[in-house]
Amino acid sequence: MKSLPTVCPSCGGKLDVKRLHCGKCETEVEGLYPLPVLASLSQDDQEFILEFVEASGSLKEMAAILKVSYPTVRNRLDEVIAKLKADKKLRGKEKT
């Protein structure tokens, strides 16, 4: 499955959604939509969040599933939180 590009391959800037397509009726919607916060994360980060939710937010369970230690999972989660916070801050700046 193709992965959704989140950054521009040319300049590394953040990508926005310009066109959406309905696979059922072929309708196309054009506009300018920012990517949802979670979609703007890397594929790895998104997978991590999905697994985290599936594990009911239990770091212990995540550690058991991924066969790593508790602090390793905790540190990974902190990394994702830091990215989300940075993204939120950036979006806040863009709005103003």
Residue ranges in contact with another protein by CB under 8 A: 44, 47-48, 51, 66-76, 78
Q: Least separation, in Å, of the C-beta of 57 and another protein?
A: 15
**What amino acid is encoded at 46 in this protein?**
Q
Cβ 44 vs Cβ 38: under 8 Å:
no
- Cβ-based neighbour number of residue 62 at 10 Å: 22
DSSP 39: G
Nearer to another protein, 40 or 73 (CB): 73
**What is the Cα–Cα distance from 24 to 48, expressed in whole angstroms?**
31
Nearer to another protein, 16 or 47 (CB): 47
- Helices (H) and strands (E) counted in the chain, each on its own, are 3, 2
Q: Least separation, in Å, of the C-beta of 76 and another protein?
A: 5
Q: Least separation, in Å, of the C-beta of 85 and another protein?
A: 11
Nearer to another protein, 17 or 55 (CB): 55
